[in-house]
A and B are shown apart, each in its own frame.
Chain A
Amino acid sequence: MMPLSSERGVFARLSVAAIVFVTAAMLSACASTQVADESGTPDPYEDWNRKFYAFNDALDKAILAPAAHAYVEVTPAPMRRGVNNFFDNLAYPEVFINDFLQGKVEQGFEDVGRFVINSTFGLGGLIDFAGGLGFSRNNEDFGQTFAVWGFDAGAYFDLPFLGPNTARDASGIPPGTVTNLLFYANSFVTFPLGLLKIVDQRASLDSAIRIRDETALDPYVFQREAYLQRRRHLIHDGDPPPDDLYTLEPIR
């Protein structure tokens, strides 16, 4: 494992985290007056969001996409898989914490098991050893938990550097950050690892972004809709009430 900062540093960071968490929860509660639903999509900040979308897209085309493509070019697939597993594992505490917060106790214990097995036998997460033993990789985060707790999605935001979000999902970013073990690493490692993580994430998003660029007439709208639907799918753990999600009636 990576060197951890001093104990005092950890406590300082945790108290910052607690403050951020509470603020975020309050923000989420306030934001819930504006509901973004799938059909009408009230997107009250569309003008700003489009500006940030253009900014992110330019940044992606200039730096991130070329970096990710070069990364895919020079590293063999098994190595990329390892890197991907490693970052997934560092972020996995967020998954099991949110299992428990959503009351999925059994899945929570399984995910703790998955994390422990991969951190040890899986060589610090490089190998998805637990996956081979039948522990599936689950997708949970604080944004999903807030949804399960009954908070509305709030307005849609396309945030600079961070991309698509709702007020609810954005409130999940601070607690998500502090439950990622990368946050507690020595800053000498955090920076290069953080860069690698960004490149790794961009590489895994590559096919989705290619589909967007190939098929979207209005890429901003396309990305917004895809994001909102994907999130709803994850909140329902891939099994949403069919009539709720696949409504086909003409709108307005």
Chain B
Amino acid sequence: MRKVVRFRWFPGLSAAALGALLFACMLPGTARAGSTTPAETVDRLHASLLEVMQDADGLKFTGRRERLSPAIRASFDFAFISRIVLGRYWGELSEDDRKRMVDTFTELTLATYASRFDGYSGERFQQMEITPMSRGRMLVRTEMVRPGKDTVQLDYVLQEENGKWLIVNVVANGVSDLSLKRADYGSILKSQGFDSLIARLRTQIAELGGG
């Protein structure tokens, strides 16, 4: 039996609750050093995304990346993600190359978020439900509501690491970022090798910053 913890947001409540949540996240003392829940991890990421979106023009790309960096580094399990994305190639890499991959992938994620979330036009995030998955993982389903545009369904897969829940996959409208990257990078690894993959990711990071 799959146990579903469901908490629906009622329209009247949601604005107030989101406000309270944002306020709570902006308080200096709220980033607790100890444990987090899956919902807290996702909320913290969303709160910092909203913050840079609303401040996007003043911050520019570099400012947005710097501002997002602590929240993103604290929310994602980049070591795990890199291992899954590289699939069987991970086993063939030296310790140095693995570190190179994790660092590059972290930079790419920062650059991608800083480049995508480059403005604010009334968007808001809301959590829909939290579902346990196999192997102790949790699925946090959320939505990004965009006035005048279609709502984006954003699902996060999290797993626990030393009392902290970290994001290991983001699924946007049913498209899993991890699976896409695994297929995409796998194709480059097969045809051109690891050094070439890193070089191309580096180029991408530079282009995201320049674009």
Task: Identify the A interface with B (CB < 8 A).
Answer: 38-39, 41, 214-218, 221-222, 224-226, 229-230, 232-234, 238, 240, 242-243, 245-246, 248, 250-252
Q: Does the CB pair B188–A225 fall under 8 Å?
A: no
State which of B87, B131, B176, B188 has its C-beta within 8 Å of the C-beta of A217: B188
For the A-B complex with A218-B188, A246-B155 known, give 15 more contacts whose Cβ atoms are closer than 8 Å.
A38-B179, A217-B204, A221-B184, A221-B187, A225-B175, A242-B131, A243-B134, A245-B171, A245-B174, A248-B169, A248-B178, A250-B84, A251-B87, A251-B182, A252-B88
Determine the chain A residues whose CB is within 8 A of the CB of B153 once the complex forms.
238
Nearest CB on A from B6, distance (A): 12
Q: Does the CB pair A246–B187 fall under 8 Å?
A: no
Nearest CB on A from B3, distance (A): 12
Determine the chain B residues whose CB is within 8 A of the CB of A214 once the complex forms.
204, 207-208, 211
Nearest CB on A from B126, distance (A): 15
Q: Does the CB pair B174–A246 fall under 8 Å?
A: no
Instruction: Name the residue among B179, B187, B207 with the largest chain A CB count within 10 angstroms.
Output: B179
**A236 to B, closest residue via Cβ:** B174
Q: Does the CB pair B133–A229 fall under 8 Å?
A: no
Report if B185 contacts A (CB, 8 A): yes
Q: Does the CB pair B133–A250 fall under 8 Å?
A: no
Q: How many residues of B contact A (CB 8 A)?
A: 38
Q: Does the CB pair B133–A243 fall under 8 Å?
A: yes
Q: Does the CB pair A225–B84 fall under 8 Å?
A: no
Report the Cα distance A225→B172, complex, angstroms. Answer: 13
Nearest CB on B from A213, distance (A): 11
| 30 A–B contacts, CB within 8 A, in A order | A214-B204, A214-B207, A214-B211, A217-B184, A217-B188, A218-B184, A218-B187, A221-B183, A221-B184, A221-B187, A222-B180, A222-B183, A222-B184, A225-B175, A225-B179, A229-B176, A229-B180, A230-B175, A232-B174, A234-B174, A238-B174, A242-B131, A245-B171, A246-B133, A246-B139, A246-B155, A248-B137, A250-B83, A250-B90, A251-B182
**B134 to A, closest residue via Cβ:** A243
Report the Cα distance A83→B184, complex, angstroms. Answer: 35
Report the Cα distance A214→B111, complex, angstroms. Answer: 12
**B191 to A, closest residue via Cβ:** A218
State which of A39, A229, A233, A242 has its C-beta within 8 Å of the C-beta of B139: A242
State which of A218, A233, A251 has its C-beta within 8 Å of the C-beta of B175: A233
Determine the chain B residues whose CB is within 8 A of the CB of A226 once the complex forms.
175, 180
Determine the chain B residues whose CB is within 8 A of the CB of A238 once the complex forms.
153, 174
**B156 to A, closest residue via Cβ:** A246
Report if B50 contacts A (CB, 8 A): no
Q: Does the CB pair A246–B176 fall under 8 Å?
A: yes
Nearest CB on A from B91, distance (A): 9
**B185 to A, closest residue via Cβ:** A217
Nearest CB on B from A34, distance (A): 18
Report if B157 contacts A (CB, 8 A): yes
Determine the chain B residues whose CB is within 8 A of the CB of A41 once the complex forms.
183
Instruction: Name the residue among B90, B173, B178 with the largest chain A CB count within 10 angstroms.
Output: B173
Report the Cα distance A238→B90, complex, angstroms. Answer: 32
Report the Cα distance A233→B185, complex, angstroms. Answer: 23
Report if B200 contacts A (CB, 8 A): yes
With known contacts A221-B187, A229-B174, A248–B180 Cβ distance under 8 A: no
With known contacts A217-B188, A229-B174, A246–B169 Cβ distance under 8 A: yes
Contact with A along B130-165 (1 / 0, CB 8 A): 010110010100000000000001010100000000
Determine the chain B residues whose CB is within 8 A of the CB of A242 once the complex forms.
131, 133, 139, 157
Report the Cα distance A3→B96, complex, angstroms. Answer: 69
Report if B102 contacts A (CB, 8 A): no
**A226 to B, closest residue via Cβ:** B175
Instruction: Name the residue among B153, B182, B184, B204 with the largest chain A CB count within 10 angstroms.
Output: B184
Determine the chain B residues whose CB is within 8 A of the CB of A248 once the complex forms.
84, 137, 157, 168-169, 178
Report the Cα distance A248→B153, complex, angstroms. Answer: 20
Determine the chain B residues whose CB is within 8 A of the CB of A252 once the complex forms.
87-88
Report the Cα distance A242→B112, complex, angstroms. Answer: 25
Q: Does the CB pair B112–A215 fall under 8 Å?
A: yes
**A39 to B, closest residue via Cβ:** B179
